Amino acid sequence: MTNALQHQAIRNKQTFKQHLLALAMCVGLGLVGAQSVSAKNINPPSLRADAPHVYVVKKGDTLWDISGRFLKTPWRWPEIWASNKHVKNPHWIYPGDRLLLCSLAGQPLIGKDEGDGCEGIIRRAGKSSNLSPQVRIESLNNMIPVIALEDIRVWLERSIVISPDSIQNLPYVLGMSSNHVLAAESDRIYIRGNGLQTGQRYDIYRQAEPYTFNDANGKKYVAAIELTQVGSGFATQQQGDITTFELSKVFNGEVRKGDLVLPVYESNLPTLFYPAPAENIRTGGTVIRVMGSIGTAAKRSTVTVDRGTLDGVQVGQVFALDVKGELTTDPKTGEKIQLPNQRAGHALIFKTFDHISYAYILDSSLPIKLGAQLTTPLSEE
């Protein structure tokens, strides 16, 4: 393998390990994880005016949706969730469970009804050292997740963002057997480029539309390249700089000429997310791409934002998204007036790169368009 490929492989493996941290809210993969949570807020989170006293969990619910039924700030749900260290896995909830809104020492308390109502929830919560500092959440296949993993799986498993320089010398698909234009699973293809090793497995990626930014002078430049995995397979034979390659798997279509070849990355899915307010982020971030669509984003969409790890963004942070107010004409003066921005929804960061991140739309009250602004820190609303 060439030095360039080795360097790129090491750097991207490290990046994946950093991105896919297991944080502390369950996505429900059938895996186990835990995280201690310390609440920085002194005042308890505000309840919604229409918060129900009883809520029965339904199939298809997420923890974010349920929290949003009770709280103005859903990311603060661990602060009022009844924790009981004497009962194993107290935070597992399933369709059919009854959640009760209770009160303890004048503060809201939410817990799962075990047949003895708020009295039992308060009694069990009182047996633990406190409500929020130790929140342990474990997952089973049928428990309620914070978000639907299937909505983001492709972006977690098979998408990466790299610098433009990183793709210059990568091996690429030269051609197919029998002069085919496209290749499917079990087909033989030919790769041109140095660094591949016979018997080794590699992934094949397709380049998407590059991300372009404006420099200080307003001139556009390519800031990053997005690659999506379209296949994988094994190098079987080499002749000069041409490698015979057998495809073992193809995603969403076929492999084409020009697709790029990269080492296999360690892309283990995270099992847990813990939503937290975004803080100390470089201001001015916006939505720059709606993934899988040329239109607008809504709840359960994935978007790209122009802020990444070098801007202070971390996996799990929640942003408010504001859309630009309409330009209207004053009926008396005839002036053109820009109306205030409107709150459109919230997004959770689930994968980060240097200056770009993927975010999942948790909720939306308005269509979220390109240019929607990231608001941080997230305040009580």
Give pLDDT tens digits for 204-244: 999 999 999 988 898 999 999 999 999 999 999 999 999 99
What distance in Å separates the CA atoms of residue 309 and residue 321, rounded to the nearest whole number? 19
Q: Report pLDDT for 133.
A: 32
Count of CB atoms within 10 A of residue 128's CB? 17
pLDDT at position 125 is 76
Q: Kindly report the number of other CB atoms within 10 A of residue 262's CB atom.
A: 22
CA–CA separation, 275 and 234 (whole Å) = 39
pLDDT of residue 190: 95
Among the listed residues 311, 306, 304, the one whose alpha carbon sits nearest the alpha carbon of residue 350: 304
The CA distance from 255 to 285, in Å, is 35
- What 3-state class would DSSP assign to 150? helix
Q: How many CB atoms lie within 10 A of CB 372?
A: 30
pTM, to two decimals: 0.74
Number of other residues whose CB lies within 10 A of the CB of residue 326? 10
112-116, Cβ contacts within 8 angstroms, sequence gap of 24 or more:
112/82, 113/54
Give the contacts of 257 (CB within 8 A, at least 6 positions apart). Answer: 173, 174, 175, 176, 181
CATH of domain 276-375: 2.40.10.410
Predicted pLDDT of residue 42: 54
Determine the pLDDT at residue 201: 95
Q: What DSSP letter does each residue of 82-116 carry, written as one string?
A: ---TTSSSTT---TTPEEEEEEETTEEEEEE--SS
Partners of 327 in the β-ladder: 338
Residue written as token pair 């949570």: 37
Q: How far apart are CA 343 and CA 340, in angstroms?
A: 10
Q: What is the pLDDT of residue 377?
A: 60
Q: Name the nearest CA neighbour of 175 among 262, 264, 255, 261.
A: 255
Q: How far apart are CA 367 and CA 293, in angstroms?
A: 13
pLDDT score recorded for residue 93: 76
What one-letter code names the amino acid at 380? E
Which residues of the chain carry a pLDDT beneath 50?
1-41, 84-91, 129-140
Distance, C-alpha 13 to centroid of its chain: 18
Beta bridge partners of 262: 203
Alpha helices by DSSP H, listed for the chain, are: 3-19, 63-70, 117-126, 149-158
pLDDT digits (tens, 9 = 90+) for 58-98: 888 888 888 889 988 887 777 787 754 433 444 467 888 89
Tokens representing 317 are 């942070």
Q: Domain segments of the chain: what residues?
A: 3-13+152-263, 54-126, 276-375
- pLDDT of res. 75: 77
pLDDT at position 117 is: 92
Q: For residue 31, with 0-12 CB atoms within 10 Å meaning exposed, 13-18 middle and 19 or more buried, which class applies? A: middle
Closest CA to 108 of 122, 90, 91: 122
